Structure 1
């Protein structure tokens, strides 16, 4: 199975990664280049559907943290550890032999540099060290190296930030970049892949739900279909006032995190309803947890009991406001080019966010949209005709008829 990872890094980092990406055949990488680390926070909102996000360092990750928290997928960043310092110093011994005390170094953790120097027996020589974090302006870091070289205290700068490297080079100063070992980058990407697979595994676990009304006021079939479609669930009618839902943890969690969706379930029904969900290692356990959660519900509330017996609710339990209109310029442009209605385009975006895989069929979209196959295929044709979706394969899970096309969206859906 191929894991798709969005990689955010400097031009130099991405160029280097491309040179050995063939050594990671189970990972498909989409590259996003930033000029300075703070650009990462804006880039996150334009990445295309993928399984995980990988940052080339802690700086871009920290700058993008607020945007990362909104992602429905896991993320990982390459840490600057002692192997980075060791590799850099070893490289310098061949390419730029320089006395340790004539080096200026900007680094996230100066203690790790001192530890490496002790390990190689350099007890008496200490470079000029500057501890950096996201509170520093790039100009401060550039000035640190510039002043030391101009007054003769330092002969060579070692920087952790590509933008600083470029500035110092442009100013005619001697500078090299910290070197991330190839093995560390590969391990970081493999760890990211593992996170993505674990996330998918957790999201795919069974979730059982119940919808209940009073015996004298049965819920409408349309309302049941609305709730089931939102979590991609199959339903079974247990009684006139009780329905069972069969879905996955990932779909249920996505729904419970959306207060406007929960409100629409609970407030637009003609009669008071109760909703409960249960997770578990088996269908039996999840069913029992859902029944236990149902016992806590009151009219127009929802509860969740997890596999670890953690009761969450009542939902909606937050004052967070959800924006219901979409003013994203890119989506406005897509709507104009494809002539898709804003409502349909918005639903396609929500469908993408809800799924834990980047691949889908027309049937998957049809079930989510609750429209006819003809309408679904018309939507997909408009997207593919304008390059916003593409057919990447086909499947045939039955013996007769034509194979189903497998699609993938080709525009950002995480903003």
Structure 2
């Protein structure tokens, strides 16, 4: 099967890549040329259907962040790494016999040069360097190289930006482009292909959905057809007020990202609950959908993935809760405290989002949206096994008992 990849790059990069096509027999490359990396912003919306998009550098990749995230396919870029810098400097020294201290270079990560020179025992000498980022000014970069050569401080400019290379040549400044090693280019394209294949395999997984109507209502055949067609699903009517949808993970994910649930709510006059489950088999997806249903409130939707992640509520705020854990520390914690992975995941999210490491039972109660009794039972289990400590008390009111102040004592950033 051929993987189709759209490539955005400068003329020189595209010409170089065309010479490597024979080494990529299972990949079809569609080329989109820009003169300056910022032009990639306008190119992205005009890319024809493909399996993935590859950018020739980090600048066009960063410039297009907003539009990239709207693409339905994976994106990747060629990173400027130590291999590219080492290849370029080695070529310069052998071909031009120019000392390292007489070179000017613009690049994204200057520390790569420092590290490389330290590795070869040349840390005392280094080139003139200019950091470039998405906010760079083309003329400032051109001026950086030009002034150094005009002042006799530099003999050669190395640039990471094709537009800078072109302007310096017009101005008769000695310049070469940063060399992208053949191995790095092929590796980047192969990585992009792997991302495309993974995305396809993920999107093809089975998705099962449940629609449960409140008040024993029904959905008309016309509305049911609109709902099912929005996720390319087949429908089984279990009861008058309960429907099962069979679709694919990709179709459901796209629908959730596009807030299609809102459309469903507007189509159906009666309140409803929606639950989805992903899985490698119909049995697994069905079980996950059933497990998601108890979490669903009126006019919302929840999803349990094949990795046992609980996502929702849709179409509003989305939280992610782990319903299983493979981490040995957390597995031991769950075993000792008898707390479910879902509750542990929620506590970890609370810890990461809470502005202070200190909190009260009330703070946790509000976040978990459970009763005070349930919250205190959870905290008691954590305290009894040393996974939380009472570090003080607070009294924000005149009567009653003071509130205990707690701290979590287990890793929550995993």
Q: TM-score surpassing 0.5?
A: yes
Contact 1:215 1:240 survives alignment (8 Å): no
Cα distance between partner residues in 1 of 2:106 and 2:217: 69
| 1:311 corresponds to | 310
Q: Give the Cα separation in 1 of the matches to 2:118 and 2:258.
A: 52
Unaligned runs of 5+ in 2: 319-414
Correspondence for 1:163 = 163
More deviation, 217-226/66-75: 217-226
1:120, distance to aligned residue in structure 2 (A): 3.2
Equivalent position of 2:293 in the other structure: 294
Provide the residue aligned with 2:271 in structure 1: 272
Equivalent in the alignment of 1:144: 144
- Residues 29-108 of structure 1 correspond to what in structure 2 (within 5 A)? 29-108=29-108
Alpha-carbon displacement from aligned partner over 1:358-414 (angstroms, at most 9, x marks no partner): xxxxxxxxxxxxxxxxxxxxxxxxxxxxxxxxxxxxxxxxxxxxxxxxxxxxxxxxx
**Per-residue CA distance 1:254-277 (angstroms, 9 max, x = gap):** 001112x32221122243332211
Distance, in Å, in 2 between the alignment partners of 1:280 and 1:197 is 18
Q: Give how far 1:76 is off.
A: 0.5
Q: CA separation in 2, counterparts of 1:125 and 1:303?
A: 59
Instruction: Please identify, of 272-281 and 4-13, the stretch whose mean Cα deviation from structure 2 is larger.
Output: 272-281
Residue pairs, 1:188-337, within 5 angstroms: 188-214=188-214, 216-259=216-259, 261-317=260-316
Change in Cα spacing, 1:147 to 1:295, as seen in structure 2 (3 Å) is same
Alignment check: 8 A CA contact 2:93 2:99 kept: no
Deviation at 1:214, TM superposition (A): 4.0
Determine which structure has more spread, i.e. the larger CA radius of gyration.
2
Range with bigger deviation, 218-227 or 66-75: 218-227
Q: How many residues align?
A: 318
Report if the CA contact (8 A) 1:303-1:314 is conserved: yes
Determine the structure 2 residue equivalent to 1:118.
Answer: 118
- What do the CA deviations read for 1:105-137 (whole angstroms, capped 9, x no partner)? 111111211222233343432211112211221
* Distance verdict in 2 for CA 1:97–1:216, change over 3 Å: same
Q: TM-score, normalised by structure 2?
A: 0.74
Q: Relative contact order: is structure 1 or structure 2 higher (C-alpha 8 Å, sep ≥ 6)?
A: 1
Q: Distance in 2 between matches of 1:300 and 1:240?
A: 18
Equivalent pair of 1:267/1:300 in contact (CA under 8 Å): no
Structure 1: stretches of 5+ with no match in the other structure: 320-415
Counterpart-to-counterpart distance in 1, 2:181 and 2:157: 19
Task: Report Cα offsets for 1:149-192 as digits up to 9, x if no partner.
Answer: 00100011011111110110000110001100011000000000
Give the deviation of 1:311 after TM superposition.
2.5
| TM-score, structure 1 as length reference | 0.73
2:406: which partner in 1? none
1:73 Cα deviation from its structure 2 partner: 1.0
2:383 is aligned to: none
Matches within 5 A, 1:395-410: none
Shift of 1:237: 1.9
Q: What does residue 185 of structure 1 align with?
A: 185
Q: In the superposition, relative to structure 1, how do residues 101 and 216 fare at CA in structure 2: closer, same or farther (>3 Å)?
A: closer
Query: Post-superposition shift, 1:216?
Result: 3.7
Which deviates more, 18-27 or 208-217? 208-217
Q: Report the aligned-residue RMSD.
A: 1.7
Structure 1 residues 239 and 142: alpha-carbon distance in aligned structure 2, compared to 1, 3 A threshold: same
Partner of 1:385: none
Counterpart Cα distance in 1 of 2:153 and 2:93: 19
SS of the equivalent of 1:4 reads: strand
1:153 counterpart residue number = 153
